[in-house]
Amino acid sequence: MSQITEHPAHLQHHFTDVHQQAESAKLGMWIFLLTEVLLFGGLFCFYAIYRSWNPDMFHNAHAFLNVWMGATNTVVLIVSSLTMALAIRSMQLGKRKLTMWFLAGTVLLACVFMVIKYFEYSHKIHLGQLPGKWYFFEGIAGTNPHIFFSAYFLMTGLHGFHVLGGIGVITWLFIKTARGSFSPEYYTPIEMTGLYWHLVDLIWIFLFPLFYLIG
Amino acid sequence: MKDDAAQRHILPLNLYLAVGSGLLVLTVITVVVAQMDFGPMNLLIAMGIAVIKATLVAMFFMHLKYDNKIYMLVFSGSLLFLGVFIIFTMFDTLRRGDIYEEIAEPYLKEAVIYRKAETTTALSHPAADTSNTASDTVTSDH
Amino acid sequence: MEHTIPEKHYLNEATGWKSWLMTLDHKRIGILYMIMVMFSFFLGGVFALLIRWELLSPDKILMGPEMYNQAFSLHGIIMIFLFIIPSIPAILGNFVMPLMIGAKDVAFPRLNLASWYIYVIGFCFAVYALFTGGIDTGWTFYTPYSSESTTAVIPILTAAFVLGFSSIFTGLNFIVTIHRLRAPGMTWFQLPLFVWAIYATALIQVLATPVLGITLALLMLERVVGIGIFDPAMGGDPVLFQHFFWFYSHPAVYIMILPGMGIISELIATFSHRRIFGYKFIAFSSLGIAFTGFLVWGHHMFVSGQSDLAAVIFSFLTFFVGIPSGIKILNWIATMYKGSISLDTPMLWALSFLILFSIGGFTGIVLGTLSIDVHLHDTYFVVSHFHYVMVGGTVMAIFGGLHYWWPKIWGRMYNETLARIAVVMIFVGFNITFFVQFIMGTQGMPRRYATYLPQFQGMHGFSSIGALIMGVGFLLIAIYLIYAIFKGKPAGPNPWRALTMEWETPSPPTAGNFEGQPILEHGPYDYDKVIPENALKPYKTI
Amino acid sequence: MDTTRSLFLPPQGSTVASDVDALFGFIFWISLFFFVGVTALTVYFCIKYKRKDGKSETTPYIESMALEITWIVIPTILLMVIFVWGFQDFVRLHIVPANSMEIKVTGQKWFWSYNYEEGATGVGELVVPVGKPVKLLMSSKDVIHSFFVPAFRIKMDVLPNRYTITWFEATMTGEFEIYCTEFCGKGHSEMWGTVKVLPQDEFDKWLEAGSGPGEGESMKDYGARMFVKNACNTCHSLDGSKNVGPTFQGLFGRREVMSDGTAITVDENYIRESVLNPMAKQVAGFDPVMPTYQGILKDVDIDGLIAYIKSLEN
C-alpha cells in the first residue's frame, strides 16, 4: 500500500506504470471503435444490398437530398475533427487555455452539424420522405423508394446519435480541462475521445457520397 | 519513460493543417466530380475519394501512422470482417435463382434451368427484388 | 499434512452485500456471474424438462401447442443468451484468466462490474418477457413470423440486445488484459491454452456481437415503427434477416465452444502431468476456428432460398472449420500418451467431452454436406448435433472447469465419490436423451414440433427418460458443490499439482491475487522439467 | 450400407434418395472408424498410463511435426472428397428435368394447397404420378414455411416474397409424409400433408375426375372426406375441445356470439360465408386466422361440408 503514494493519482492499482495504463486504455478504445465499425457495418450492408437490387430507385431518390447541405456538413465535421486533433496537440504541449478553445470549437461545430441536420430532417418529414410505412411522398420512380429513406434515416440517425454523444463527452472534457484535471503527462480521456470523434467523422466521410452524391 | 515525445506523437502544427486542408480540397473535388456523369465509374470515383479521405483521417488525426502497429491491425481487422459480411451476403443476394451454368452445362441440353431473369415482371404479391425473382423466368433451352 | 484456509482472502477481506455489489475484484465479479448464470441454467433446464415431459406423448399432456412453442423458445433463449455465451468467459474467464497471466486484475475493473450489471438488466428484461406474454419465435427470431407474433417479442429482443453489450465489454476487457497485463517475461507462447481460447473467444465477441445489436435493433424498429426492411409486404427480404442473424449467431457458436476447448486443454495436461502435445497447433487452431467461424454462417441456410453459389461457398468453407477442431482432439489424445493419468473428476468431465464432442463434430460434417443437409435441415438430427456440441462439449467443459477450479475459488474440496457418480449420470443420461434423436432426425422428425406422428413415440419416451437422469445429475452436482463451499475439506493451494500460475496463490486467493508482482519461473506445461510438490489430496486416488 | 439405411433413413421414394443415402453411408462409416479409433486410444491411454499410487514423474517431451501434418492433411483430403460429392448431388437436386410436370404449391397457416396446370386443386394431399419428374413451384401466403418430404430427401423453404423451386421423381407408389420444417406458429407441428404417388393411369383418372361424391357416397360421407382433405381438422375439433377455431361438434344450430358482440345462429348460409369469406363474421374468443377457401372449394364441396357439420350432434 505504501507504493501507491509514490504513484501519480491517476494510476490505478493494478497497472505497474502510467505507460501501461495509457496503452491499455488506447487498445480498449480501438477495440471499441472496431465494434462501432461493425455496428454501422450492418447498416452499410443493408444499404449495399438494397442498392444493388434497386439501383435506379436509389439514383432517383438521392436527387431529393440537398447536396449543399450535405457538403456543408462534411466541411463542418472535417474542421471539427481538425480542432479535436489540435486540442490533443495543445494538451500534449501543456497549453491548457488553447485546449479549451479547441474543445469549445469542436462542440460548436458539432452543434452546427446537428442544426443543419435538423433542417434537412424537418424538410423530409414535411414532404413525407420517410422510412417504411410512414412514407407518403409521391414522385420518386422505382420500386419501394421508402427503403432508400429507411436507409437514410437509420444511417444518418445512428450517426447523429453518435454526434450527440460526442457533444456530451467533449463538453465534459471541457469542464475537466477547465478544472485542470489534465496535463501533458495525463490526457488519456481527451486522446480517447479524439479517436472516437475522428471515427464519427470517418463514417460521415462515407455516408456523404453514398447518399448525397451517388445515391 | 524513455522517448516520451515519440510515445506521445506530438506532430507539427503544419502537418495537421495540411491534412485538414487536403480533406477540404478532396471534399470539393468529390462534390464537383459528382455533378458530372461517368456512368458506372461514379461509384468508384466517389468511393475512391472517400477512401483517400478516410485514410488521411486515420493515419494522421488518429495517429495510426505513428502508433504501435497493433492499432492498425485492430482497425484493418474491423474493415476486413465488415468486408466479409457484405461480400458473402452478396454471394446470395446478387446470385439468387442462378445456378452457375458451367456446372450445369452437361444437363443444359435436356434441362429446364431455374435461373435469373433477363426481363422483369412484377409478381402478383409484393417482391423486394423483382429483378431477381425466378417465377416467370424459368426459361427453357429448347 | 493438513491444509488450512488462509486467514485473509478475497472472500472475507470485506463483508456485507455492498462489498459484493460494488466490488471491482475480478474474482468476486466472477462469482456474481456464477450466481446469475447458474440460476439461468436452472431456469433453462426447467424448460428443457417441460419440453421432454410434453413430448412423452403426441397428445397434449401439460401444454398445448402455444405453450409448447413458448417453452422451447424460452429454453433456447435462456440457455444461449443467458447461460452458455456468458458461462465460461464470464465466470471462469473472469476468475481464472487474470490469475493465469499473473495480473492483479482485468484491465478495466469498473467496466467489468458494469458488464455484470448490464447482464443483470438483460436478465430482468428476459424475466419480464417471461411474465408478459412469453415468446414463441424460437431463439432465431426469423422474420416475418417474429414481426407479427403477438408474444412479448420486444422485451426479449431488448434482453438479447442488452446482453450483447455485456458480452462485448467482457470481450474487450479480456483482449486488453491479455495484451497488456501479462506478468513480466510471459510471452504469448507461455500463455496457458485456456488464455488463448479466451482470447480467441473475446475476438469473436467484439467482432460479431455488434452485428447482432444492429440486427435486433432493426427487428425492433420493424415491429415498432414499421421500417419494412425485413417485411415482404413492404419490399423487404426475410432471407436477409437470416444473413444478419447468422453472421452473429454462427460465430456465437464458437463463443460457446472455444473457451470449453481451452478448459479441456488445461484439464488434459494437468491430469496427465504431461507437456501438452502441439502447443502451437492448439493455440493457433483456436484463432483459426475464430476466423473461419466468420465465413460459414450460410450453412444454416442451405434450404432457405439463398443462392446456390452462396450455398456452395459456405459449404466448402464449413469443412475447414472441422479441421482445427480435429487438430485439437488429436493433440489432446497425443498428450495423454506416456502421461501419468489421474482419473479425478475434472478429468472424467474432460474424457466425456472428448467422446461427446467427437460425435458432435462428426455429425457436423454430415450437416455441412450440401445434399445431405437438404434432408436433415431442421430435423431432430440438427437438434441432437448441436446438443452434442453445446452440452456434450461446452457444458462438460464448464463442469470440468468448475470442479477443477472449485478448490481454488472456495479453498475447499467437494465430495469426490458423489462427483464421480454425477459425471457418470450426466454422461449416460445425455447419451440416452440425445443419441436417439439422431435416429429420429434422419427418419424425418422435424424440430419445434409440439406433437408428432405415433411412430416416433417410443424414441421420444426414451429420450425423455435420459433428460430426467441428467436433471437429477445436475441437481446432485448443485448439492455437493454448495455443500463443499461451507463444509468441504480445505484443499490447499495446489491440489492437482498443476503448473499454471493460478495455483501459486493460496486457495482462496488473496484480494490482490499475488504477493507483489509474480515472476514467471516455468512455462504452464513444463511437466517434463518439474512437477510441483505432492500436495496432500483430501481423498484417495483410485 | 443397408444397415445404416434401415436404422437411420426412411424408405427411398425418389430418384435422388439413393445417392443422398450413399453419401450418408460413406460419412457414417468413415466417422465411425475415426470415432472408434479416438475412443479406443483414449481409453487405452487411460488404462495404460494410469498414475500409480498418486506419484508421477517427469517424462521427456515428444514433439512430432510429421504427426501433426499427417492429421491435418488426411482429414482435409477426406473432407474435400465429401464436399465435392455432396456438391454434385446438390446440383442434381436443384436442376429440374425438362419433362417435369409443374405443380404450384402454396403454404399458409397451417396447410398446403396445390394447383395443377390442368386446373385441378388440392389441399393437404399432393397426388402425383410415379416415374415422372414433378416440379414444385412454391410460395407462401404469410410467414416462411418449409416443404419437406423425408422419403424423397427434398426440402425447400417456402417464402412469402418470391418463388422457390424443388423437384422430385417418385420411384414407388404409396403415401409419404409432408412436413413443414420452418417454425410458423401455433399449428406448425400439425402442418402435415401426404404425397400420394399413383401409377400414371390412375393419376390421369384422378386428374380428370371432377369433384363431388363418388358413386354410392352420401353427401355426409363426402363432407367428412372434404373435412380431412382440406385440413379443416387442423383447426376445428370434433369432440368439443377448443382448438384454433370453434369445434364442429354441435355447431349447427348453435347460438354463437360474434367478435363484434352480436349473436347469430349457425345455419347453412353462415357456414358457407365462413368458408368463402371467413373475416366477415367471427366467433368471439378466436384469433382471425382462418384463410379463405374461395377458389379452392367448389359448391359441391361446401354442400358436403354442410351436410357433414349438420350430422355432428352433441
pLDDT in tens, C56-114: 999 888 888 889 999 999 999 999 999 999 999 999 999 999 999 989 999 999 999 99
Which of A13, A36, A133 is the closest to C226 by Cβ? A133
From chain C, the residues in CB contact with A24 under 8 A are 107-108, 176, 179-181
Assess whether pLDDT exceeds 80 at residue B112.
no
**How near does any CA of chain B get to the CA of D83, in Å?**
15
Mutate which: C370, C416, C435, C456, vs D, most D CBs within 10 A: C370
Average of per-residue pLDDT values in chain C: 92
Per the document, the length of chain D is: 314
In chain A, DSSP assigns E strands to none
Instruction: Give the residues across from C413 on adjacent strands.
Output: C489
A49/C236 CB distance under 8 A: no
pLDDT at site C368: 94
How wide is the angle at C-alpha B90 spanned by C-alphas B85 and B94, nearest 5°?
Answer: 175
Q: Model confidence over C1-45: pLDDT tens digits? A: 578 888 889 998 888 889 999 999 999 999 999 999 999 999 999
> Taking a C-beta distance cutoff of 8 angstroms, is the pair C182, C148 a contact?
no
Cα separation, A81 vs D215, whole angstroms: 86
Q: Say yes or no for a CB contact (<8 Å) between C235 and A147.
A: yes
Q: How confident is the model at residue B135 (pLDDT cuts 50, 70, 90)?
A: very low
> Residue for cell digits 349473436?
D263
C-alpha cell at D205: 383418372
Cell of B105: 452445362
pLDDT, greater one: C143 or C194: C194
Residue carrying the nine cell digits 417453452: C71
- Say whether residue A56 is in contact with chain B using an 8 A CB cutoff: no
Residue C538 has pLDDT above 90, yes or no: no
Q: Using N-to-C axis directions, what is the helix angle for C279-292 and C308-336, rounded to 10°?
A: 160
Q: Chain A partners of B31 at a C-beta cutoff of 8 Å?
A: 67, 71, 213
Q: What is the pLDDT of residue D121?
A: 78
pLDDT at B108: 43
| Residue numbers in B near D98 (CB within 8 A) | 110-112, 140, 142
Mean pLDDT of chain B: 71
Per-residue confidence (pLDDT) for residue C432, from 0 to 100: 95
Helix, strand, coil proportions of chain B in percent (round to 5)? 60, 5, 35
Given this model, what pLDDT does residue D254 score?
83
Say how far apart CA C212 and CA C226 lie, in whole Å.
Answer: 19
Selection from D254, D124, D255, D272 nearest residue D190 by Cα: D124
Question: What's the pLDDT score for residue B122?
Answer: 33
User: Do C173 and A28 count as a contact with CB atoms less than 8 A apart?
Assistant: yes
Confidence label for A119 from pLDDT (cuts 50, 70 and 90): very high
Residue with cell 462501432: A36
Chain B within 8 Å of A39 (Cβ-Cβ)?
A: no
List the single residue in B81, B99, B127 with the smallest CB-CB distance to C294: B81
User: What is the reported pLDDT for C134?
Assistant: 87
Chains C and A touch (3+ CB pairs under 8 A): yes
Counting every residue written for chain A, the total comes to 215
Which residues in chain C have their CB less than 8 angstroms from residue B79's CB?
none
> What value of ipTM does the predicted structure carry?
0.88
pLDDT of C190 higher than 80 = yes
Residue C540 has pLDDT above 80, yes or no: no
Cβ contact C236–B97 (<8 Å):
no
Contact in structure between B51 and A213 (CB atoms under 8 Å): no
Cell triple for B84 = 466479409
**Mean pLDDT throughout C359-374?**
94
- How far is Cα D302 from Cα C429, in angstroms, rounded to an integer? 52
Q: Given a cut of 50, is residue B2 above it in pLDDT? A: no
C-alpha Rg value of chain D to the nearest Å: 28
Residue B129: predicted pLDDT: 38
Per-residue model confidence as pLDDT tens digits over B64-89: 988 888 999 999 999 999 999 999 99
Half-sphere exposure of A214 (CA within 13 A, CB side): 25
Identify the pLDDT of residue B6. Answer: 46
**How far apart are the C-alpha atoms of C203 and C175, rounded to whole Å?**
7
Those residues whose C-beta lies under 8 Å from the C-beta of residue A55, and which sit 6 or more positions away, are: none
Neighbouring-strand partners of residue D257:
D263
Q: Which residue of A has its CA nearest to C222?
A: A132
CB C242, CB C236: distance < 8 Å: no
Residue of A nearest to C175 (CA): A28
pLDDT band at C446 (very low <50, low <70, confident <90, very high): very high
C279-292 and C238-272 are packed helices; what angle lies between their axes, rounded to 10 degrees? 170
- If you search the block for the grid coordinates 404449391, which residue do you land on? D105
CB D90 within 8 A of CB C371: yes
Preferred mutation among D18, D79, D94, D149 to probe C, highest tally of C CBs within 10 A: D79
Do A85 and B50 make contact, defined as CB atoms within 8 angstroms? no
The mean pLDDT of C510-536, rounded to a whole number, is 78
- The answer to which of C162-171, C394-403, D106-115 has the lowest mean pLDDT is D106-115
Grid cell digits, residue B126: 409484393
Nearest-Cα distance to chain D for B101, in Å, is 11
For residue A98, give the C-alpha cell.
488553447
Contact A41 B85 (CB under 8 A): yes
State the cell numbers at C163: 446482453
Position D6 confidence tier, pLDDT thresholds 50, 70, 90: low
Give residue-wise pLDDT tens across range C480-507. Answer: 999 999 999 998 888 888 989 898 888 8
**Residue D164 pLDDT exceeds 70:** yes
CB contact under 8 A, A41 and B82: yes
For position A137, what pLDDT does the model report? 80
Percent of chain C with pLDDT over 70: 98
pLDDT at D41: 95
User: Least CB-CB distance to B92: which of C179, C232, C306?
Assistant: C306
Closest-approach residue (CA) in chain C for D26? C366
> Please, where are the H alpha helices in chain D?
2-8, 17-48, 65-94, 200-208, 219-229, 268-276, 299-311
Whole-prediction pTM value? 0.88
Residue in A14, A23, A28 closest to C105 by CB: A14
Report the relative pairing of strands D193-198 and D125-129 from DSSP bridges: parallel
C206 interaction partners in chain A (CB closer than 8 Å): 31, 34-35
Closest approach of chain C CAs to the CA of D60, in angstroms?
Answer: 5
In whole angstroms, give the CA distance from residue C413 to residue C406.
7
Distance CA C436, CA C429 (A): 12
Cell readout for C359 is 460425435
Report the gap between the CA of B57 and the closest CA in chain A (Å).
7
Pairwise pLDDT comparison (C252 vs C533), residue with the higher score? C252
Q: Work out the average pLDDT over C378-386.
A: 95
3-state DSSP: chain D helix, strand, coil percent, rounded to 5? 40, 25, 40
- The per-residue pLDDT for range D299-313, each reduced to its tens digit, is 778 888 888 888 887
Residue B60 Cα, gap to closest chain D Cα (Å) = 44
3-state class percentages of chain A: helix first, strand second, coil last, to nearest 5 = 80, 0, 20
Question: What is the pLDDT averaged over residues D115-134?
Answer: 86
> Please, what is the angle between helix C153-180 and helix C109-131, to 10°?
160
D8-26: pLDDT as tens digits: 888 899 999 999 999 999 9
User: Quick check: D95 and B99 CB within 8 A?
Assistant: yes
